[in-house]
Amino acid sequence: MALLMYEYPPCGTCRKAKKYLEENDISFETRHIVDNSPSKEELDRFVKQSGLPLQKFFNTSGKKYRELNLKEKLKGMSDQEKLELLASDGMLIKRPIVTDGKKATVGFNEKVFDEAWG
């Protein structure tokens, strides 16, 4: 399976990830993270595949995150509530999310991409 990358085209981090995949001849398809947001079930699977805590999937530098005061609100929320919140608005999700169906990465770090996709 080709990689699937959930991206937000204006995002600089997404552009870096895309450039990395293209330069390394790694085939991938993209999905717009806002227009076609991952479902709660998909997000849950990505979290498990990544081995990262659910908190790492929040776009903590995003305007929406700050507007909703999520830094404070997330502390009292269950994982199911957090997943529902993420699935409700693609702008809350840290990007890009890249998956091959077996593992997933979130954000862009060249070393992590080398290990996962290189």
C-alpha distance across the termini of the chain, in Å: 15
For each of the domains in the chain, give its residue range(s) and CATH number, in order of start. Answer: 3-117 (3.40.30.10)
Whole-structure pTM over 0.85, yes or no? Answer: yes
Give pLDDT, residue 46.
Answer: 98
Question: What is the side-by-side strand order in the sheet with 104-106?
Answer: 28-32, 3-7, 97-99, 104-106
Give pLDDT, residue 1.
Answer: 61
| pLDDT 10s digits, 21-77 | 999 999 999 999 999 999 999 999 999 999 999 999 999 999 999 999 999 999 999
Give pLDDT, residue 118.
Answer: 87
| pLDDT 10s digits, 90-110 | 999 999 999 999 999 999 999
SS3 19: helix
